[in-house]
């Protein structure tokens, strides 16, 4: 009794003062299925460790899994596939086939990549997936399922002993938040960058036009357009540099939800101003006011990347310059084209007005999202 | 002049951004050589070994199953490997639930649940085990641990006291002092711990290590950092594989801005995520940006959230605060973590997150929650001072 108690004590004491358990890289596999009409294709990525736990792939038992061994195990894996992963369409089972075996290096280790395909008769309205891999060996294991219609939105599900089966409608209209998740995935900085770019574009769209007696007319010469553009961009740059620096050096801090909402609002207003011109002559003033807000937005991106403790100022300047270069590139591309086409009656009708309208609507969506906190 | 429709031009600008937003595609590859070793495996995790274990469980071979489950849980904790915990639970689930399950099996189940941070479930299973076998000392000890993590100090103290007649009295004393130290008697408990130092030296290694861990924690809360450091070092000398002790020591070093020391301490143990996190924080503070390690950790948290398994929340708060500098994410994780764990470190990260997010409401709430805690902690006090200048 005493001995088992001591043994148990050794185990439990480890977790005693601990309680903070190691942040685990849990056991997951990744099933990706794409529906393209009737055929379904995709892949199943299984961690080699998990495969070795489910099947004696290490044939010689030397604890080193070679490519030869993995390949040789493929016929057996094909036979067992049906026990582990099943797909059915509108209730009728589809035959899932392993077309190929490759290897994939993910961030947390090496996975077997099984290329899959299935033909399910007709175009499936409802796709059922049954996942039972490792359920009897490791109840903590999960299958992360990503289902997509070719070229369309994706749906994600987590399958495991608690939920071994899911039925999805592949063609379901994407929810707005799902669409945004897809965009947001790992490219946050571009997302933030886009609204700055669009704000700038909103201000630049009418730069090659003059508002005259409630009508738009093309500017008479390039110089006028350039003066306008320079004024707007310089004002925007100066303003956001100031607030970016203040925020990045922790002199001023604003809640990010407020900042992001204000940035979205600025795009709405700038775009709307093109449709119902309120500010016509001093767009640079708009650029300054809203530039101050955008600077805080840049700061949050910078914060996410983290300013190093050494060479902080230099990094800050570098980031700023990077932003400037990006803007200049856009201006250099957009303005000459806009100038060339400014005479076209279509410019106002097909670019300025619908372009601004689209920008305004897009920004309105962002504004609502960010304000509500989606 | 070649005319590109202005409408198409406008659309292109919008679409360019969307196209750029597509995430990087995975790139699988085909090895060229049959002899190329793709992965090093363990005997424990081999299909054969697991099948034998399953057979033992199906055959109700209690001795074998009990030994295996304990080994899996112990190794899982040491190596920060959740798969081993999964194998333990896989074996336990083969044992029929119900009146027939021996108390020892219930205890093992509770231990596995605790390792997964399913604290309330674990307590329920422990209660059942104790109903069957009230003398099961380990069950009282596990119960005390969980209640302490949840901040339920009076019940934790009671559970500690139950150990007195059921196991070594020293264990009961140490358990009790640990709880009292958090429950508002910091200095008395610290004196108590120091008083039993000699007795501690005569205990088994696991108990000695536990003693050093409690001592280090109490000394840190009392602001005696140099003494705390000595206790951490002694504890790690007894068991270099104690990852939570190493992580706590690393936190102390980082708190004192001794980043190189923290890196040296955590080096070689970064396969375990709690230690890897401190390693990353120290690196970031020194201006390094190990992108791959950071992304890997991010994916761990992302997948955990997707799975709905709240195992990482305290770590995610620190990651969000000190690596990603994302105050909103830190606050969300801190609030979720607080529902589960209420140790002094959880209070500190909650407050740090609330302060960083610059959100008056959350700050007020955090202060109210933390104010209700009896714990005395100089580091927490320092943070509170910055909140109420």
Q: What is the pLDDT of residues B165-184, one digit of tens each?
A: 887 799 999 999 999 999 98
pLDDT at B2: 44
A173 versus B264: the higher-pLDDT residue is B264
Q: Which chain A residues in 267-326 lie under 8 Å from chain B, judged by CB atoms? A: 303-306, 308-311
Q: What is the mean pLDDT of residues A26-37?
A: 90
Please report which confidence band the pLDDT of residue B154 belongs to, taking 50, 70 and 90 as the band edges.
very high
A22 has a pLDDT exceeding 60: no
Which of A6, A23, A337 faces B300 most closely, judged by CB atoms? Answer: A23
Q: Which segment of A142-156, B50-64, B242-256 scores lowest on mean pLDDT?
A: A142-156
The answer to whether residues B92 and B114 touch, using CB atoms and an 8 Å cutoff, is no
A29 has a pLDDT exceeding 90: yes
Q: Do A49 and B359 touch (CB under 8 A)?
A: no
Q: What is the mean pLDDT of residues B2-26?
A: 42
Per-residue tokens: B113: 């649940």
pLDDT at B389: 57
Give the mutation candidate from B27, B28, B313 for the A interface (greatest A CB count, under 10 A): B28
A186 has a pLDDT exceeding 70: no
Q: Which segment of A95-109, A299-313, B227-241 scores lowest on mean pLDDT?
A: A299-313
Please report which confidence band the pLDDT of residue A273 belongs to, taking 50, 70 and 90 as the band edges.
confident
* A291, A296, A300, A301 alpha-carbon torsion, rounded to 10°: 20
B184 versus A154: the higher-pLDDT residue is B184
Residue owning tokens 């798969």: B83
Q: Which chain B residues in 94-153 lie under 8 Å from chain A, judged by CB atoms? A: 107, 111, 114-117, 137-138, 141-142, 145, 148-149
Please report which confidence band the pLDDT of residue A322 belongs to, taking 50, 70 and 90 as the band edges.
low
Q: Tell me what the pLDDT averaged over chain A comes to.
A: 78
Q: Tell me what the pLDDT averaged over chain B comes to.
A: 88
Tens-place pLDDT, residues B100-132: 678 888 999 999 999 888 999 999 999 999 999
pLDDT at B13: 42
Q: What is the mean pLDDT of residues A207-221?
A: 75
Question: Which residues on A lie below 8 Å from B138 (Cβ)?
Answer: 5, 8-9, 12
pLDDT at A314: 59
B199 versus A310: the higher-pLDDT residue is B199
pLDDT at A362: 86
Q: Which chain B residues in 12-71 lie under 8 Å from chain A, judged by CB atoms? A: 13-14, 17-18, 20-21, 23-24, 26-31, 33-43, 45-48, 50, 54, 70
% of chain A residues with pLDDT over 90: 28
How far off is chain A from B270, nearest CA to CA, in Å? 11
CA–CA gap between residue A148 and residue A165 (Å, rounded): 17
How far off is chain B from A298, nearest CA to CA, in Å? 13
Q: What is the mean pLDDT of residues B262-275?
A: 91
Please report which confidence band the pLDDT of residue B11 belongs to, taking 50, 70 and 90 as the band edges.
very low
pLDDT at A155: 86
pLDDT at A193: 64
Which stretches does DSSP call E strand in A191-307? 209-212, 215-218
Per-residue H/E/C for chain B: CCCCCHHHHHHHHHHHHHHHCCCCCCCCECCCCCCCEEEECCCCCCHHHHHHHHHHHHCCCHHHHHHHHHHHHHHHHHHCCHHHHHHHHHHHCCCCCCCCCCHHHHHHHHHHHHHCCCHHHHHHHHHHHHHHCCCCHHHHHHHHHHHHHCCCHHHHHHHHHHCCCCCCHHHHHHHHHHHHHHCCCHHHHHHHHHHCHHHHHCCCHHHHHHHHHHHHHHHHHCCCHHHHHHHHHHHHHHCCCCHHHHHHHHHHHHHCCCHHHHHHHHCCCCCCHHHHHHHHHHHHHCCCCCHHHHHHHHHHHHHHHHHCCHHHHHHHHHHHHHCCCCHHHHHHHHHHHHCCCCCHHHHHHHHHHHHHCCCHHHHHHHHHHHHCCCCCCHHHHHHHHHHCC
B188 has a pLDDT exceeding 90: yes
| Closest by Cα among B144, B189, B149, B186 to B167 | B144
B31 has a pLDDT exceeding 90: yes
A156: enclosing H helix or E strand: strand A154-159
CA–CA gap between residue B373 and residue A206 (Å, rounded): 60
Please report which confidence band the pLDDT of residue A9 belongs to, taking 50, 70 and 90 as the band edges.
low
Give the mutation candidate from A24, A132, A139, A181 for the B interface (greatest B CB count, under 10 A): A24
CA–CA gap between residue A112 and residue A118 (Å, rounded): 19
B98 has a pLDDT exceeding 70: no
Q: What is the mean pLDDT of residues B57-61?
A: 87
B191 has a pLDDT exceeding 60: yes
* B17: alpha, beta or left? (left if phi > 0; alpha if psi -120 to 50): alpha
pLDDT at B22: 32
Tens-place pLDDT, residues B303-346: 888 887 767 789 999 999 999 999 999 999 999 999 999 999 99
A45 versus A333: the higher-pLDDT residue is A45
Q: Do B21 and A183 touch (CB under 8 A)?
A: yes
Q: Do B214 and A17 touch (CB under 8 A)?
A: yes
Q: Do A140 and B244 touch (CB under 8 A)?
A: no
Q: Which chain A residues in 2-61 lie under 8 Å from chain B, judged by CB atoms? A: 5-28, 43, 45, 48-50, 52-58, 61
pLDDT at A192: 47
Q: Which segment of A51-60, A67-76, A139-148, A346-355 scores lowest on mean pLDDT?
A: A346-355
């Amino acid at each position: 009794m005493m001995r088992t108690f001591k043994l148990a004590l050794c185990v439990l004491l480890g977790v005693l003062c601990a309680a903070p358990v190691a942040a685990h890289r849990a056991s997951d596999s990744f099933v990706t299925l794409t529906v393209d009409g009737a055929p379904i294709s995709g892949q199943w990525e299984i961690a080699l460790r998990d495969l070795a736990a489910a099947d004696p792939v290490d044939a010689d038992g030397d604890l080193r899994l070679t490519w030869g061994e993995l390949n040789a195990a493929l016929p057996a894996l094909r036979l067992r596939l049906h026990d582990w992963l099943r797909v059915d369409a509108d209730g009728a089972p589809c035959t899932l086939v392993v077309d190929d075996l490759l290897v994939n290096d993910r961030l947390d280790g090496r996975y077997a990549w099984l290329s899959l395909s299935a033909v399910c008769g007709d175009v499936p309205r409802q796709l059922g997936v049954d996942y039972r891999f490792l359920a009897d060996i490791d109840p903590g294991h999960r299958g992360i399922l990503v289902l997509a219609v070719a070229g369309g939105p994706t749906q994600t599900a987590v399958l495991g002993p608690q939920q071994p089966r899911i039925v999805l409608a592949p063609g379901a209209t994407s929810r707005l938040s799902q669409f945004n998740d897809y965009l947001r995935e790992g490219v946050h900085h571009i997302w933030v960058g886009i609204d700055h770019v669009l704000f700038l574009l909103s201000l630049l769209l009418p730069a090659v036009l003059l508002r005259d007696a409630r009508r738009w007319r093309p500017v008479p010469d390039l110089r006028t357009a350039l003066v306008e553009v320079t004024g707007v961009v310089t004002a925007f740059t100066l303003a956001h540099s100031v607030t970016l620096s203040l925020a990045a050096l922790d002199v001023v801090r604003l809640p990010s939800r407020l900042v992001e909402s204000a940035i979205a609002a600025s795009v709405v207003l700038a775009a709307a101003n093109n449709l119902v011109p309120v500010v016509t002559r001093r767009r640079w003033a708009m650029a300054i006011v809203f530039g101050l807000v955008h600077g805080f937005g840049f700061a949050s991106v910078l914060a996410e990347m983290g300013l190093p403790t050494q060479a902080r100022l230099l990094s800050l300047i570098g980031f700023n310059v990077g932003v400037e270069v990006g803007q200049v590139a856009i201006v250099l591309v957009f303005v000459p084209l806009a100038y060339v086409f400014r005479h076209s009656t279509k410019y106002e009708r097909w670019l300025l007005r619908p372009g601004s309208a689209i920008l305004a609507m897009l920004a309105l969506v962002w504004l609502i999202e960010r304000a509500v906190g989606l | 002049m070649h005319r590109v429709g202005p409408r198409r031009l406008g659309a292109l600008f919008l679409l360019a951004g969307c196209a750029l937003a597509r995430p990087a595609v995975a790139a699988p590859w085909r090895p060229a050589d049959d002899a190329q070793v793709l992965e090093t495996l363990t005997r424990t995790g081999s299909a054969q070994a697991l099948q034998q274990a399953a057979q033992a469980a199906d055959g109700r071979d209690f001795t074998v199953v009990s030994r295996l489950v304990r080994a899996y849980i112990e190794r899982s904790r040491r190596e920060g490997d959740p798969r081993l915990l999964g194998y333990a639970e896989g074996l336990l689930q083969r044992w029929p639930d119900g009146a027939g399950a021996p108390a020892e099996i219930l205890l093992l189940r509770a231990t596995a649940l605790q390792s997964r941070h399913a604290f309330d479930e674990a307590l329920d299973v422990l209660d059942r085990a104790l109903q069957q076998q009230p003398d099961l000392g380990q069950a009282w000890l596990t119960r005390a641990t969980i209640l302490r993590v949840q901040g339920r100090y009076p019940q934790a103290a009671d559970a500690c006291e139950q150990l007195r007649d059921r196991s070594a009295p020293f264990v009961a004393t140490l358990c009790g002092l640990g709880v009292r130290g958090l429950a508002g008697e910091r200095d008395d408990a610290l004196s108590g711990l120091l008083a039993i130092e000699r007795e501690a030296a005569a205990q088994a290694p696991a108990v000695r290590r536990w003693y050093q861990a409690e001592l280090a924690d109490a000394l840190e809360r009392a602001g005696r950092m140099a003494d705390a450091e000595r206790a951490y070092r002694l504890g790690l000398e007894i068991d270099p594989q104690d990852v939570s002790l190493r992580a706590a020591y690393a936190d102390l070093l980082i708190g004192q801005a001794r980043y190189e020391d923290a890196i040296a301490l955590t080096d070689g143990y970064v396969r375990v995520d709690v230690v890897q996190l401190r390693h990353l924080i120290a690196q970031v503070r020194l201006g390094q940006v190990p992108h791959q390690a950071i992304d890997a950790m991010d994916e761990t948290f992302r997948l955990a959230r997707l799975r709905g398994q709240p195992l990482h929340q305290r770590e995610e708060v620190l990651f969000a605060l000190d690596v990603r500098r994302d105050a909103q994410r830190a606050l969300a994780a801190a609030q979720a973590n607080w529902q589960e764990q209420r140790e002094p470190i959880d209070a500190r990260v909650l407050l740090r997150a609330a302060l960083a997010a610059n959100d008056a409401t959350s700050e007020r709430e955090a202060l109210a929650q933390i104010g209700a805690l009896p714990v005395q902690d100089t580091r927490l006090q320092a943070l509170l001072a910055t909140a109420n200048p």
